Amino acid sequence: MTILIIEDDVKLKDYIKEYLEAYGYNAVTIDDFDNVLAKVEEIKPHLIVLDINLPKFDGFYYLKLIRKAYSIPVIILSARSHEGEQIRGMEIGADDYITKPFSIGILLAKIKALLRRVGQYTEAEEENESLLYVVHDSMKLKYKDEIIDLTKNEYIILNMLLSNVGKIITREDLLEALWDDTTFVEDNTLTVNMTRVKKKLSNLGIHNAIITKRGVGYVFNGIDN
């Protein structure tokens, strides 16, 4: 799933991007606000997170342009909390409106709910019926005809690995995604969680799919059938 983040606050957009990527989304940000529509056409996102206070034109202007050409779900993220602004956004075509400051967990929940409402999860699951993948809205792991439950940590780890097959995911990236702050987390805690993930894969008949790169991180090399 690709989420396009149209936000000019660098720290905020990077934070949202990192958080969404930790949950398995392909999060893309934008820097050129002169060509927003061209970026939408290029990326073809499944959902857009749109700020209102932007350079050049405000988010309502861009929302009108997007709505003329696309039916992509849009969540407005704005410091404008007045009821009239929220109504205006919904009338123009926003699917949801979140006011700043906001909970990143609430944003994630709304993204999941909106994608589920427009059928994106169903389509993805049908396309990947025989593959190994996580079911986002219920935190389960599906492989062929088997479905198993995942803990939150197992879910995050598998999302990151399955979204980056063949690439090294560093221990630091995993620790940050799992606990936000790596300073107070023992390195062994990640090892314990990774061992549990490997055991669940083994129970599904998937062995040696996750390769440990000592001192660096982990790689998901795919499934040997």
Phi, psi of 121 (to 5 degrees): -65, -40
Residues carrying CATH 3.40.50.2300, the chain: 2-117
Residues carrying CATH 1.10.10.10, the chain: 129-220
Residue type, 214: R
- Calpha distance 62→57 (Å, rounded): 7
CATH classification of 2-117 is 3.40.50.2300, yes or no?
yes
Reported CATH class of domain 129-220: mainly alpha
| pLDDT tens by residue, the chain, 225 residues | 899 999 989 999 999 999 898 888 899 999 888 888 888 989 889 999 999 988 888 889 999 988 888 888 999 998 887 888 888 888 888 989 998 888 888 898 889 888 877 654 444 444 444 478 777 657 788 887 788 998 888 988 888 888 777 889 998 888 887 775 444 556 688 889 999 999 999 999 999 999 999 889 999 987 765
Q: What is the pLDDT of residue 201?
A: 93
Q: What is the pLDDT of residue 126?
A: 42
Regarding pTM above 0.95, the answer is no
Q: What is the pLDDT of residue 196?
A: 94
